Homo-oligomer: A and B are copies of this chain.
Amino acid sequence: MTLSSPVLPASSPDDDCRFVRLSPETLQLVADFFKVLSESSRLQIVCALKTGQKNVTEIIEATGLGQANVSKHLKILAQAGIVNRQQQGVCVYYQIASGFVFELCELVCDSLSAQIQQQSEKIARLEAFRQA
Q: Which residues of A contact B (CB under 8 A)?
A: 1-8, 17-20, 22, 24, 26-35, 37-40, 42-44, 47, 50-51, 81, 98, 100, 102-117, 120
Contacts and interface: CB of A to CB of B under 8 A. Distances in A.
A113 B4 contact: yes
A23 to B, nearest CB: 10
B33 A35 contact: no
A43 B18 contact: no
For this chain, the copies found in one complex come to 2
A66 to B, nearest CB: 15
Nearest to A107: B104
Contacts of A50: 17, 19-20
A8 B40 contact: no
A100 to B, nearest CB: 5
Contacts of A113: 1-5, 7-8
Given A4-B113, A6-B116, A107-B103, A31 B20 contact: no
A1 to B, nearest CB: 6
Contacts of A51: 17, 20
Given A24-B40, A104-B104, A109 B47 contact: no
B5 A27 contact: no
